[in-house]
Amino acid sequence: MRTTVGIIGGGPAGLLLARLLHRTGIDCVLLEGRDRAYVEHRQRAGMLEQGTVDALDEAGAAERLHAEGLVHQGIELRFDGERHHIDFPTLTGGRTVTIYAQTEIVKDLVALQLAEGPPLLFEAEALAIEKPESTSPVVRFVHEGREQTLTCDWVVGCDGFHGISRDTFPDAVSHSYERDYPYSWLGILADVAPSCEELIYARGQGGFALHSMRSPHVSRLYLQVPNGTEADDWPDDRIWDELSARFAIDADWTLRRGPITAKSVTPMRSYVHEPMRHGRLLLAGDAAHIVPPTGAKGLNLAVSDVRVLGRAFAELHRTGSEELLDAYSRICLARVWQATRFSYDMTKMLHAQPDGDAFESRLQLARLRRIAASRHAAAELAANYTGLPLMP
């Protein structure tokens, strides 16, 4: 097989890139290691920046998003018995965010690609990328039990944090920067109407909790738990009791409970790989960087990488210029580091320190009170949360 752009990984990054290239008239092939049901049901993100919604619009993949997505004007911060609303439109000159599950974005993009192309192969696992420094890199992959090769002009690794693309970079040019955190998130989906209109980020006595949602009938909630926690350690009643305690504010507010339909534990990590390009191999999304979910940036960063890449390939196709492809890593990393900083700050500000450091705890409250008291501090949070500009 031969193509212009070989894409490894059919998560949001790979699927959106395939769609953008297809609409520009650039041929590509997408290889996804898992089956369709698996990629369409992996529970993950839900909060989309305005720029992510715009990108799905540009790709002609936002029809259901506009019909079913929930537009939110802000978030609530809860701490020390106080609640504080951050109003995005007034603080950012009109920006909002949209709640629409990653599973639904993936379903929409898969359906479009299967109907209109380009080729999308499920259960096609990439084994290796050969000759990334040459003008015709080759992806070796297994499909239907047979080893095959895909010869490309360019290869884009959208294969997530555990993919093979990043490891293809020679050690001499690879630099990674990382941070682990001493806690994880236990996430649940529940068949119950959300207890709030917008997301609540709570710094509770027993630790952090987040109230999010998937629809007017389905709630998505997260709870800070110690590393090493198993989802089975937490029977449903214990989860609801702990969530209620962490969100507790006054007698007027109660957390609605309902049947829990999914439960999983996610560790928290920051990771950035530099650079994001080596020869004709480019990385996009979680393959290059991950952030703790407190800032809701992972999916949005994957989409912004792909938007830059879509423009870079369009420019190459139209004018023959590789200028934007040459600038790809620099442009994306500037934004990635801003999102890494923001996600780190949000995480540090809201999670309980497992060692109970009282000084750190006082600093957290001081940061939160500053945001509550200062329009400038609140505007800084709102600007980062709703998304910084795509290009510097």
Q: Which residues are catalytic?
A: 72, 201, 293, 297, 385
Among 11, 293, 310, 387, binds ligand PHB (CB under 6 A): 293
124 touches ligand PHB by CB under 6 A: no
Contact 310, 5 (CB under 8 A): no
Per the document, the length of the chain is 392
Nearer to ligand PHB, 165 or 294 (CB): 294
194 touches ligand RFL by CB under 6 A: no
Query: Phi/psi at 75 (nearest 5 deg)?
Result: -135, 165
Question: CA angle, 55 as apex, 309 and 317 as ends, to 5°?
Answer: 35
Among 160, 194, 204, 292, binds ligand RFL (CB under 6 A): 160
Of the CA atoms within 13 Å of residue 81, those in its CB half-sphere come to: 2
Nearer to ligand PHB, 39 or 150 (CB): 39
- Per residue in 336-372, is it b (16+ CB within 10 Å) or e — as a string? beebbebbbbbbbbbbbeeeeeeeeeeebeebbeebb
203 touches ligand PHB by CB under 6 A: no
Among 6, 51, 163, 310, binds ligand RFL (CB under 6 A): 163
CA-based nearest residue to 124, from 27, 13, 22, 1: 1
Among 7, 8, 129, 209, binds ligand RFL (CB under 6 A): 8
CA-based nearest residue to 233, from 225, 241, 224: 225
Cβ contacts of residue 41 below 8 Å, gap of 6+? 103
255 touches ligand RFL by CB under 6 A: no
Residue 92 interaction partner, one of ligand PHB, ligand RFL, none, beta carbon < 5-8 Å per kind: none
Round to the nearest angstrom and report the end-to-end CA distance of the chain.
Answer: 38
212 touches ligand PHB by CB under 6 A: yes
Residue 207 interaction partner, one of ligand PHB, ligand RFL, none, beta carbon < 5-8 Å per kind: none
CA-based nearest residue to 87, from 99, 97, 75: 75
Residue 163 interaction partner, one of ligand PHB, ligand RFL, none, beta carbon < 5-8 Å per kind: ligand RFL
Select from 78-86, 224-232, 295-303, 352-360 the region that touches ligand RFL (CB under 6 A): 295-303
343 touches ligand RFL by CB under 6 A: no
Q: Looking at beta carbons, which residue is closest to ligand PHB?
A: 46
| Tokens read off for 385 | 């949360």
Contact 156, 5 (CB under 8 A): yes
33 touches ligand RFL by CB under 6 A: yes
Q: Which residue type occupies 163?
A: G
Residue 31 interaction partner, one of ligand PHB, ligand RFL, none, beta carbon < 5-8 Å per kind: ligand RFL
Q: Which helix (H) or strand (E) holds 58?
A: helix 50-58
Select from 25-33, 84-92, 107-115, 200-208 the region that touches ligand RFL (CB under 6 A): 25-33
| Tokens read off for 275 | 């650079």
Nearer to ligand PHB, 92 or 347 (CB): 347
CA-based nearest residue to 6, from 136, 160, 166, 115: 136
Least gap, CB of 293 to ligand PHB (angstroms)? 4
220 touches ligand PHB by CB under 6 A: yes
125 touches ligand RFL by CB under 6 A: yes
Least gap, CB of 297 to ligand RFL (angstroms)? 5
Least gap, CB of 141 to ligand RFL (angstroms)? 7
Helices (H), strands (E): how many in the chain? 11, 19
Q: Which helix (H) or strand (E) holds 217?
A: none
Print the binding letters for residues 39-78 with ligand PHB: x by CB under 6 A, - otherwise.
------xxx-------------------------------
Helix, strand, coil % over all residues of the chain, rounded to 5: 40, 30, 30
187 touches ligand RFL by CB under 6 A: yes
Binding site for ligand RFL (CB under 6 A): 8-14, 31-34, 39, 44-47, 102, 125-126, 158-160, 163-164, 185, 187, 266, 285-286, 293, 296-300, 302
Binding site for ligand PHB (CB under 6 A): 45-47, 199, 210, 212, 220, 293-294, 296
